Amino acid sequence: MNLLLLTIVLALIWAAISGSFSGLNLLLGTAIAIVALYLLRDFVTKPRALRQLRRIASLALLFVYELVVSAIRVAIVVLTPNLRAALRPAIVAVPLTVKSDAEITLLANLITLTPGTLSIDVSKDRSVLYVHVLTLSTREALIADIATGFEAKVKAVFA
């Protein structure tokens, strides 16, 4: 049932991207969706409950807001006349509490697109995420910021 729904959604996305909702194109989209789902059969997990959609939406909203704030902040930094005084770049090791691949990937991508932070690397044992910061205040403040903000939201989505 879940696979059927995914197939339909993927076929519709295909039709939307190629810009034609004709029968033949939808059929082609369905074929591609089936091939893609077959290739990814080990990764397509069990259906998620509907209430998780709300959490995903909340994460998406937070993300868009942070992204705009982030772009404006980078813009201000870039336009500062005395650039070297405004910058305090640093690479900080942030301890991770999320464990699965999907969670770490999502968190790292969110961190990259949010104010002043860019994820660089994950340690081999997946316990630490190395984050580059544009203007460091203190390393503890940054770690607390990530843990209470995105990390909590990411956990809620995957809970």
Which residue among 26, 34, 62, 139 contacts other proteins (CB under 8 A)? 139
**For residues 94 and 146, is the Cβ–Cβ distance under 8 A?**
yes
Quote the least distance from Cβ 93 to other proteins, whole Å. Answer: 4
The nearer residue to other proteins, 45 or 82, going by C-beta atoms, is 82
Which of 60, 50, 47, 117 has its CA nearest to residue 89?
117
Name the minimum Å distance from CB 40 to other proteins.
Answer: 16
Candidates 131, 116, 106, 113; CA nearest to 55 is 106
Expressed in percent and rounded to 5, the helix, strand and coil fractions of the chain are: 60, 15, 25
3-state secondary structure of 115: coil
Binders of other proteins among 22-51, rule CB under 8 A? Answer: none
Asked if 56 interacts with other proteins (CB under 8 A), we say: no
Query: Which parts of 19-138 are beta strand (E)?
Result: 90-95, 117-122, 128-133
Q: Which residues between 57 and 116 bind other proteins (CB under 8 A)?
A: 67-68, 70-71, 74-75, 77-79, 83-84, 87-93, 108-110, 112-113, 116
- Residues at the contact surface with other proteins, assessed by CB under 8 A: 13, 16-17, 19-20, 67-68, 70-71, 74-75, 77-79, 83-84, 87-93, 108-110, 112-113, 116, 118-121, 130, 132, 134, 136, 139
